[in-house]
Structure 1
Amino acid sequence: MDIVEHYTASREELRLSRTPHGRLEFLRTQELIRRHLPAPTTVLDVGGGTGIHAEWLAADGHTVHVIDVVPTHVQAAAQLPGVTASVGDARQLSTPDSSVDVVLLLGPLYHLVSPADRAQALAEARRILRPGGLLIAAAISRYLTLMETGSAGTLHPGLADSLSAVMASGRYDGHAGFLPTHWHTASELHDELTAAGLPDVEVYGIEGPTWTALDAAGIDSFDTLAPAALAAARLVEQDPLLINASAHFLAVATSNTGGTHRDDR
């Protein structure tokens, strides 16, 4: 199944609300983006899905356009107040050079399994950023399913090869029910953005080390446990010994020199 088929058949708009760790991911992603985002600003949300982040960004006063490869996602995002949307690919954007303040890549980097494709998406993001603009990119931790299955009691010998492969190389083979994707370490994400010509890169662990405990406690306990989980995530968000215990990372990079024209690459 390809990306369009997968997301057309799934309920992507529920991903960040149906589980405790999804809710934690949403709150922390929102918190980290707001910490860095100037206002008002123009935001291109590349791979923005149904607009779950575009919606609150527009409500905050930003000008937000969603680009996504899934037509049904684009249709849903375009219905949100203050949000526009169009079908497109992170590797070949129609957006003019040096024309936006902020580019969000909250999904493309893990769906682009080839290093060359990820580099191309990052080059496109850098091309369309104004000087001083921000690239904000998310990635999945290589240790996600190890922590998830180990905590849930579902880690069995048959998973050993798949878990070893994703931890060693980032190649996720779909063993937990998601599409085959590329999963990062925090340092790999940092290095990929730096190699794309974005020298000022900060990487944060989104959920922190307690997200599996929230899942074990269940959705009804989320409101009670979330404040402590959020506090823990903030305390170790850049701790080199714990950052990879987050399920996801968020990288924030500044474009110091402005966009690079396609013809110059």
Structure 2
Amino acid sequence: MSDDLIEHYGTDGIEDSRLRRSGHGRLEFLRTQELIRRRLPAPTGLRVLDVGGATGIHAAWLAADGHSVHVVDPVPAHVLEASQLPGVTAEVGDARTLTATDDSVDVVLLLGPLYHLTEPASRAVALSEAVRVLRPGGLLVAAGISRYLSLLEVGTNGRLTADTEQSLRTVIDTGSYDGHVGFTQAHFHTADELRAELQAAVRSEVTVYGVEGPAWPSLDNAGPAAFDELVNAALRCARLVEQDPNLINASAHFLAFTRTP
């Protein structure tokens, strides 16, 4: 996994730029902040382990809120950039072999590893590691990419063709994503699948939210200049159906929350 990620992410801040520039990336960033702040056990003073935290785009605002944040990422260029943020430390590492000690952190964020780990056994190991380092009652936050992301993206931007249909069917049916819209090979979840994986690891109640809601493709298709005009309606739309079982999979991403016993 690490070599593929270094090749995909290592030449520039691709994840950082996506969350700052694309319409649905900016919506994802706002909603991720909103949902995490809503569920944090305290508004400040928590020890947060941001696993797969890339250049620290989420670590930065968490540290600014007064939390102690440590980023773990397999891409050395990401770690170097994250380590320069105020209040943030960082190390090169793997979600499956964390260096943190048992019961040592209040919050673990897995906002990337679960979709980059394409085998169920590897995802289970990463979740087990997160549980190991969390204190009793600690918060685990895990992200997944929706199996319907590609369909909604290419189906609304005019790029859905006969040549891409089989790849779309495969990812919808199995979660196996082959990189057909430019992302690296990955596993895409359904909301129920993500919930089940966390429940198996933590043996505790899991709540899954749709992050962007169903309006996210309109932001990309309208272009950057229209973002400020459209974003408030898109945010309201996302909140209204964030746990609706009929629409949750229309989000591009999910966030799942659970606490250790």
Once structures 1 and 2 are overlaid, which stretch shifts more, 218-227 or 43-52?
A: 218-227
Aligned to 2:234: 229
* Structure 1 CA distance for aligned equivalents of residues 202 and 144 of structure 2: 18
Structure 1 position 148 matched with structure 2 position 153: yes
Query: Of 58, 73, 77, which residue of structure 1 is paired with 2:78?
Result: 73
Aligned to 2:48: 43
State the Cα distance separating 1:94 from its structure 2 match: 0.9
* Structure 2 CA distance for aligned equivalents of residues 102 and 11 of structure 1: 25
Aligned to 2:23: 20
Deviations 1:109-153 (A, max 9, x none): 000000000000000000000011000010100000100000001
**Which residues in structure 2 correspond to 1:175-254 (within 5 Å)?**
175-254=180-259
State the Cα distance separating 1:216 from its structure 2 match: 1.4
Aligned to 1:58: 63
Which amino acid letter does the alignment assign opposite residue 99 of structure 1?
A: S
If the length of structure 2 is used for normalisation, what is the TM-score? 0.97
* Structure 1 CA distance for aligned equivalents of residues 47 and 160 of structure 2: 44
Which amino acid letter does the alignment assign opposite residue 30 of structure 1?
A: Q
Structure 1 position 108 matched with structure 2 position 113: yes
Where 1:25 maps in the other structure, the secondary structure is: helix
Aligned to 2:260: 255
| TM-align CA RMSD | 0.8
- Identity of paired residues, percent? 63
**For this pair of structures, how many residues does the alignment match?**
256
* Structure 2 CA distance for aligned equivalents of residues 113 and 216 of structure 1: 29
The answer to whether the Cα contact below 8 Å between 2:63 and 2:88 also exists between their aligned partners in 1 is yes
**Which residues in structure 2 correspond to 1:118-137 (within 5 Å)?**
118-137=123-142
The answer to whether the Cα contact below 8 Å between 2:205 and 2:258 also exists between their aligned partners in 1 is yes
Query: Of 5, 8, 14, which residue of structure 1 is paired with 2:7?
Result: 5
The answer to whether the Cα contact below 8 Å between 1:198 and 1:254 also exists between their aligned partners in 2 is no
State the Cα distance separating 1:178 from its structure 2 match: 0.8
State the Cα distance separating 1:224 from its structure 2 match: 1.1
State the Cα distance separating 1:198 from its structure 2 match: 3.7
Query: Of 104, 116, 119, which residue of structure 2 is paired with 1:99?
Result: 104
* Structure 2 CA distance for aligned equivalents of residues 94 and 106 of structure 1: 18
State the Cα distance separating 1:155 from its structure 2 match: 0.2
* Structure 2 CA distance for aligned equivalents of residues 204 and 7 of structure 1: 26
